[in-house]
Amino acid sequence: MGARWEKLEEIVFLLQNLSDDVALSNRTYKAKLQEIIQMCEKAKK
């Protein structure tokens, strides 16, 4: 179980970094990314 959560943390971290890199003009993409990040955050709890 532990390794799985670590992987999830890693994915969330990468997604957050990616979302910071994405141009603000691409709102749909950013919104989708935020959705995925939130889903990952919920899964961790």
Find out whether 32 and 19 touch, Cβ atoms under 8 Å.
Answer: no
Find out whether 4 and 12 touch, Cβ atoms under 8 Å.
Answer: no
Output the pTM of the full model: 0.46
**Residue 45: predicted pLDDT:** 74
Residues 6-17: what's their mean pLDDT?
81
Find out whether 43 and 8 touch, Cβ atoms under 8 Å.
Answer: yes
Alpha carbon of 5 to those of 20, 21, 39: distances in Å?
Answer: 23, 24, 13
Q: For the chain, what percent of residues have pLDDT higher than 90?
A: 0
pLDDT at 33 over 60: yes
Planar angle of CA 42, 24, 44, nearest 5 degrees: 10
